[in-house]
Amino acid sequence: MTTTTTTTTTTATGPAVVGFDNVTKAYGDVRAVDGLTLALYPGETVALLGPNGAGKSTTLDLLLGLKNADSGTIDLFGTGPREAIVAGRVGAMLQSGGLMDEVTVAELVRLACDLHPRPYPVSDVLARAGVTRIADHKVHKLSGGQAQRVRFALATAGDSDLIVLDEPTTGMDVTARQAFWATMREQADQGRTVLFATHYLEEADAIADRVLVLHRGRLLADGTAAEIKARAGARRISFDLPDGPVDEARLRGLPFLATLTLSHSGSAAGSGRTVRIQSTDADATVHALYGLGVYPRNLEVTGLGLEQAFVAITAAEEAKQQS
């Protein structure tokens, strides 16, 4: 089966820092990563998206040398993953990365700094990750969100060129998330590459310069969030109808309709109906709407959000594979 991907228009600066060339990794019959080819460049913030089981964690594990590929090659900074990690080129924050028990946050961060070839001062690392206040707390007594911040501190203990994050903000509150992403943006602005896997599509939309969509171990889409949304094709149309009879069947007969919902919107000014449509050709649908003699109020035509685009793209791929 061939899978098409959109072409990225991300401005690549300099040679690739990460290269996957036709990489495959299977667990028994399951191809967790299936012929993956991609390149990442300095200064990019890249979101790795995909439904559960798409192969995101396996891809990151291969990148970090925690698993070996069955075939294909992985290049990091002109070497293999393990050499790059030993050289301190990569900082990583993994989903389930166990933190040592019985040590304090400061002790653990100091250890990570000691191990890094180009460490930052411990106090800077603690401050950047927002854990100075809990520096003398025992690691095993931290809340989920605090433990995530400590993992973040460990990933930024030294001057690495690539930062790899697996579901980094899980368990963080809104303030911690915002501070976290502001720091990551700074890291990317300084020329580092930030690669993160996430299930929070609004984060990917807001943060990432480039979005990779994985599906069953294959790269389904690669582009900016705007390109991915445009690729999904559909647009949303919403409008209000004044009080009075509505011929719902005629509305449902509009061309290029994917979905239609009708809801009542009672207000002091009177009650009416709000119609929400997803259309694969919004211009034609709106034209036909006027043709029905319907005069919509507050008409809005907007693109899909990244989340809806993601669902549309992955559902279309599922349908293609099952047909």
Ligand X SMILES: Nc1ncnc2c1ncn2[C@@H]1O[C@H](COP(=O)(O)OP(=O)(O)OP(=O)(O)O)[C@@H](O)[C@H]1O
**Shortest separation between residue 124's beta carbon and ligand X, angstroms:** 32
> What does DSSP assign to residue 46?
E
Residues binding ligand X: number (CB under 6 A): 11
Check: CB of residue 298 under 8 Å from CB of residue 239: yes
Check: CB of residue 311 under 8 Å from CB of residue 228: no
Which is closer to ligand X, CB of 57 or CB of 169?
Answer: 57
Of 22-81, binders to ligand X (CB under 6 A) are 27, 30, 32, 50, 52-58
Residue 283 belongs to what H/E stretch? helix 282-291
Residue 317 to residue 323: CA distance in whole angstroms: 10
Which is closer to ligand X, CB of 122 or CB of 197?
Answer: 197
Which is closer to ligand X, CB of 2 or CB of 52?
Answer: 52
Q: How many C-beta neighbours within 10 Å does residue 65 have?
A: 17
Which is closer to ligand X, CB of 52 or CB of 267?
Answer: 52
**Shortest separation between residue 95's beta carbon and ligand X, angstroms:** 7
Amino acid at 138: K
Check: CB of residue 170 under 8 Å from CB of residue 148: yes
Which is closer to ligand X, CB of 108 or CB of 155?
Answer: 155
**Shortest separation between residue 179's beta carbon and ligand X, angstroms:** 25
**Shortest separation between residue 313's beta carbon and ligand X, angstroms:** 15
Of 260-299, binders to ligand X (CB under 6 A) are none
**Shortest separation between residue 61's beta carbon and ligand X, angstroms:** 7
**Shortest separation between residue 148's beta carbon and ligand X, angstroms:** 16
**Shortest separation between residue 216's beta carbon and ligand X, angstroms:** 8
Residue 199 to residue 93: CA distance in whole angstroms: 16
Can you read off the two tokens belonging to residue 126? 């603690």
Amino acid at 266: G
Can you read off the two tokens belonging to residue 265? 């919107």
Of 186-225, binders to ligand X (CB under 6 A) are none
Which is closer to ligand X, CB of 32 or CB of 47?
Answer: 32
Strands (E), the chain: 18-27, 30-40, 45-49, 71-76, 90-93, 162-166, 193-197, 210-215, 218-223, 235-241, 257-267, 270-279, 297-303
Residue 289 to residue 295: CA distance in whole angstroms: 8
Which is closer to ligand X, CB of 108 or CB of 214?
Answer: 214
Of 96-135, binders to ligand X (CB under 6 A) are none
Which is closer to ligand X, CB of 58 or CB of 160?
Answer: 58
Residue 221 to residue 51: CA distance in whole angstroms: 13
**What residues contact residue 120 under an 8 Å CB cut-off, 6+ apart?**
113, 128, 156, 157, 158, 159
DSSP string over 152-192: HHHHTSB--SEEEEESTTTT--HHHHHHHHHHHHHHHHTT-
Residue 318 in contact with ligand X, rule: CB under 6 A: no
**Shortest separation between residue 37's beta carbon and ligand X, angstroms:** 17
Which residues lie near ligand X (CB under 6 A)? 27, 30, 32, 50, 52-58
